A = this chain, B = another copy of it.
Amino acid sequence: MSVMKKLINDPLKVADELMDGLVEAYNGECRAEGTRSIIKNDIPDGKVALLVGGGAGHEPIYHGLVGRNLADGAACGDIFAAPPPDIVFEATEAVDKGKGVLYLYGNYAGDVMNFDIGAELADDEDIEVRTVLIWDDVCSAPPTEKKNRRGIAGLVPIVKLAGAASQGAGSLDELEATAKKAVLQTRSVGVSMAPGSIPATGKPTFDIDEDKIGLGMGIHGEPGVGDIPMTSADDLTPQMLDLILKDFDEDDEVEALKEGDEIVFFVNSLGATTMMECLICLRKAKEYFNEKGIKIYDVMVGPMVTCQEMAGISFSVTRLDDELKPLWDMPCQSVCYSKMEGHYGG
């Protein structure tokens, strides 16, 4: 598909224009702030604030996770680019209600650099900031090198849990601890079949052979485990889940995933991959978890962490405990993810 076949206006203004549209999607509950931030209007005084953010082009994340019982605001970059420090700072000032701000975002070098500078600018204004990085992509580095891991679709359940925790958190310490736990208990593996296109040029975000599938490939086409022959849903699904379970097993910071554990299981489409395919993979994944005695507490499925019209899928597993379950059960609403109170099958 050519660049002309995208329903846009000026290809260089898509990040700004989609943010305007995002504000309209919230229909008065959120506002545009400064250059390119989106902020909830009703953040209570004294609330510990939760700020997310990242590059545009991956909608409905990252900025679509602002909402009810979710993030208080988001700093938004240009297409596939980290938000600059001044945008991070404007968002930080806007969400701060005197109890400090937790930054919770995917671990990419540009984002880390810019959010860190934003935190320094905030410190100059006596706003306390903590940072929890999301590094759920187990194919991007071994468990001993989490600082080199990318954040992918696991960020949705992580932000959901942190957003719920932020509603009642007594301190920034408390919210930071819960967010860290959610990150530690969340692991993802993705695959890709075909690239998305860069809105400004129409060029593909990466190349892949017609008969290959990129196992562990990142959402921008970053290398993973390697290309494997294209295969069936039933063959691929256990391969991907094995990598997630192996990671829980090999990481000294976390217990192995074992019989009786309860998880949120998330099947994410990277864009053009259909719900049909997501559901067919979910069917196989449920068999896999049943065989291992791992209990699915709730399911998420759909295109939430995308890269334009990229074809691909990812699985994310979040292990819940007695602290995280009630946070999961809290209702939430946003452009990216909404749920009623409770959980399916409860």
Which residues of A pack against B, CB within 8 Å? Answer: 1-2, 4-9, 14, 17-22, 24-29, 56-57, 59-60, 64, 68, 193-194, 196, 199, 210-211, 230, 232-234, 236, 271-283, 285-286, 296, 298-299, 301-303, 306, 308-309, 311, 313, 331-333, 335, 338-340, 343-345
Task: Say whether A28 contacts B308, CB under 8 Å.
Answer: no
CB distance from A58 to the nearest CB of B (A): 9
Cβ–Cβ < 8 Å partners of A282 in chain B: 21, 24-25
Could you tell me the distance between the alpha carbons of A282 and B24 in the complex, rounded to whole angstroms?
7
Task: Say whether B274 contacts A311, CB under 8 Å.
Answer: no
Known: A24-B283, A59-B274. A345 touches B302 (CB 8 A): no
Task: Say whether A306 contacts B274, CB under 8 Å.
Answer: yes
Task: Please report whether the interface of chain A is mostly helix, strand, loop or mixed according to DSSP.
Answer: mixed
Cβ–Cβ < 8 Å partners of A19 in chain B: 279
Known: A271-B274, A272-B309, A298-B27. A14 touches B280 (CB 8 A): yes
Task: Say whether A5 contacts B210, CB under 8 Å.
Answer: yes
Could you tell me the distance between the alpha carbons of A194 and B283 in the complex, rounded to whole angstroms?
29
Cβ–Cβ < 8 Å partners of A18 in chain B: 275-276, 279-280, 283
Can you name the residue of chain B whose Cβ is closest to the Cβ of A19? B279
Task: Say whether B274 contacts A233, CB under 8 Å.
Answer: no
Task: Say whether A21 contacts B340, CB under 8 Å.
Answer: no
Task: Say whether A272 contacts B275, CB under 8 Å.
Answer: no
Cβ–Cβ < 8 Å partners of A24 in chain B: 279, 282-283, 285-286, 296, 299
Residue in B8, B26, B279, B340 whose beta carbon sits within 8 Å of that of A276 in the complex = B8
Could you tell me the distance between the alpha carbons of A18 and B278 in the complex, rounded to whole angstroms?
8
Task: Say whether A17 contacts B283, CB under 8 Å.
Answer: yes
